[in-house]
Amino acid sequence: MTTTAANRSDRSQKDPTPARQPSTWRRYERYWLPIGTVVIILVVWEILGRMGLWNPLFFSSPSEIWGGFTSLTEGPLWSDLRVSGIEFAIGMAIALGLGVPIGLLLGSNRRLNHAFDPIINALYSTPILVLTPLLVIWFGLGMGSKIANVAILAIFPVIINMIEGVRTVDPVLLRAARSFGASGLSIYKDVTFPSVIPFFITGVRLAIGKGMIAVVVGEYIAATEGIGYRIRADAEVFNTSRYLAAVMIMVVISVVMMGLLKVVEKKLAPWRDTTIA
Amino acid sequence: MTAPTKIHAAASTRVATTDRSVPPILEVDSVVFGYGAETIIDNVSFDGRAGDFISIIGPSGCGKSTLLTLLDGMAQPLAGSVRVNGQRPLPGEPSRSMVFQNFALMPWKTVLDNVELGLRYRRKDLAKKERYDIAHEYLKKVGLDRSSKLYPRHLSGGMQQRVGLARAFAVQPQILLMDEPFGALDAQNAEILREDVRALVQEEQRTVVFVTHNLDEALQLSNRILLMTAGPGRIREAVTVDLPDEDSDDYPARYEAYRKQLWMHLRQEVNETRAREEEGPTR
């Protein structure tokens, strides 16, 4: 082994050519590889569509979906997005505003946690969307029932992750803080809250997914506007390209929200970054 | 309880020869502690003055770390008493600070903020800038002032424990409680940190209670060694270590004599503990 290593280092010292730089292709492959893949899929998809491989009623090619998208932008897209966005934002605000303190409380109190644990787990694993018709009866066809839908669906991942976060605070850190003179509030501020942040982020990530489903399905089942309503309306009249365009918009919004959450996580928990500042 | 054996030798220039006429800062008197029916610590007594470096050594489960918890005021003895400056210790008092085996640094705070943490809780009289100045000063003492903006996860184990030492010394306690501070480190890092601790203790004349598994560590650092039994934890031997300078000619022979004597007791204790554990299930 030693001989080999020595030979290698000798050779490298004698070698007059400088160390090889990776080619431009190599250096940027993490950008162009995914972009290239998407472009190839779109091109093949488009070619197959133009070859008439499927009935346009059942599926659309990328250019047709683009047509659907422009038709949406010229039509109801912005007001639909505004309605769905408001429903989502208010519902999430309620889920976080209630879920975070409830989770903190249940996580800090063993008895309360024991008492509510089965109920929370049962509700979390139940497809609460079946309550949508009831919520429509309570809150009407408008935004109210969708906000309630989002809040009810998104609150459980937040609560469950907050409970888990509080319960897994490192007891050695709590002891260290106490030993150095931290009192109740400083312990929450300096130990409990920071250690709960990663769990909070996970809770929010899951809540966003649930919240999106809640808005779209809520509007899909019973509404007069919103992106979920638009998807249903277009699907019902076999306007497949517009319907698929709306689905694509939902995909893009999800990706953007997850990306934003990563930025928020870096801001909230810079210590988890593996690179040295 | 076995009567403590005292070994006396020529005067030493090492860590501590304390003036026994000065009243002790730390008094542990016939302390008993346990959970439920299980007694963990039974009738432990010793005291500590400024400059005392007391090592507590013994087999696993002898209650060494529990004893530190009592000294830190985190729990109260079932019988007997712990007194710091004549008072019962309460959690978080400025007279003591703790160095933990697994460092116990806040992962979300930078190195500097971790050192400042203790000062923030204890020295409310200081302005923020003064606290950070002190934190910087102690980071410099442990050679980490250039890493002050890093997070603990960016540091090696040895460096993290230096932050732990800086945090503990920065609050300038009378008593330093160290719970196997080098237990999670490799041999070289542990050696370097022992030197750091020795330098800091010599400079600041604190009372140190140091829990360790390592006989050599105890001998190199302490002026007193308490050898504990397990199940329940009692003091089997209390040894006053009086070694000459490490450069002196008779240092190796004297060191070896102490080591042999302590090891004889420790080996016996470990064997007895093992035998008890093997009998355990049928007891």
pLDDT digits (tens, 9 = 90+) for A216-236: 999 988 888 999 999 998 888
Domain that holds residue A31: 24-53
Residue A170 lies in a domain: yes
Domain boundary among the residues A53, A73, A90 is at A53
Helix axes B157-170, B128-141, angle to 10 degrees: 130
Q: Stretch A14-20: mean pLDDT, rounded?
A: 56
Number of domains in chain B: 1
The mean of the pLDDT values for chain A is: 86
Same domain, A30 and A118: no
* Mutation target among B108, B112, B131, B161 for the A interface, most CBs of A within 10 A: B108
Alpha carbon distance B176, B201 (integer Å): 9
Same domain, A207 and A130: yes
Which DSSP state fits A75? T
Please answer whether residues B192 and B225 qualify as being in contact, where contact means their C-beta atoms are separated by less than 8 angstroms. no
Question: A116-132 burial by CB neighbour count: b if 16+ within 10 A, else e?
Answer: beeebeeebeeebbebb
Q: How far is CA B148 from CA B123, B156, B200, in A?
A: 20, 14, 19
- Binary contact (B74, A175; C-beta < 8 A): yes
Same domain, A100 and A233: yes
Domain that holds residue B219: 1-95+177-185+208-277
- Binary contact (A180, B122; C-beta < 8 A): yes
B156 touches chain A (CB under 8 A): no
Min Cα distance A115 → chain B (Å) is 27
Residue B80 lies in a domain: yes
Residue A2 lies in a domain: no
Nearest beta carbon to residue A180 from set B92, B102, B152: B92
Same domain, A121 and A232: yes
pLDDT digits (tens, 9 = 90+) for A79-125: 999 999 999 999 999 999 999 999 999 998 889 999 999 999 888 88
- Binary contact (B171, A180; C-beta < 8 A): yes
Same domain, A47 and A128: no
Contacting residues of A for B151, CB less than 8 Å apart: 270-271, 277
Residue A4 lies in a domain: no
Alpha carbon distance A131, A139 (integer Å): 12
Residue B22 lies in a domain: yes
Same domain, A89 and A139: yes
B150 touches chain A (CB under 8 A): yes
Task: Assign residue B21 the CATH number of its domain.
Answer: 3.40.50.300
Backbone angles phi, psi at B249, to 5 degrees: -65, -35
Residue A59 lies in a domain: no
Task: Assign residue A137 the CATH number of its domain.
Answer: 1.10.3720.10
Please answer whether residues A146 and A217 qualify as being in contact, where contact means their C-beta atoms are separated by less than 8 angstroms. no
Residue spans of alpha helices (H) in chain B: 64-71, 111-122, 128-141, 157-170, 187-204, 215-221, 251-279
Number of domains in chain A: 2
Same domain, A182 and A231: yes
Residue B241 lies in a domain: yes
Nearest beta carbon to residue B72 from set A179, A183, A197: A179
- Binary contact (A176, B104; C-beta < 8 A): yes
Q: Look at strands B79-84 and B96-99 and give their pairing.
A: unpaired
pLDDT digits (tens, 9 = 90+) for B62-89: 888 899 999 999 999 999 999 999 999 9
Contacting residues of B for A190, CB less than 8 Å apart: 106, 109, 117
User: pLDDT tens digits for chain B (283 residues)?
Assistant: 333 333 333 333 344 455 667 789 999 999 999 988 888 999 999 999 988 999 999 887 788 889 999 999 999 999 999 999 999 999 988 899 999 999 999 999 999 999 999 999 988 889 999 999 999 999 998 888 899 999 999 998 889 999 999 999 999 999 999 999 988 888 888 888 888 888 888 887 889 999 998 899 899 899 999 999 887 888 988 999 888 888 888 889 999 999 998 898 888 888 887 887 777 654 4
- Partner residues linked to B240 by β-bridges: B224
Which DSSP state fits B77? -
- Binary contact (B154, A276; C-beta < 8 A): yes
Same domain, A174 and A206: yes
Contacting residues of A for B96, CB less than 8 Å apart: 179
> Which A positions 179-218 lie with beta carbon below 8 A of chain B?
179-183, 186, 190-191, 194-195, 197
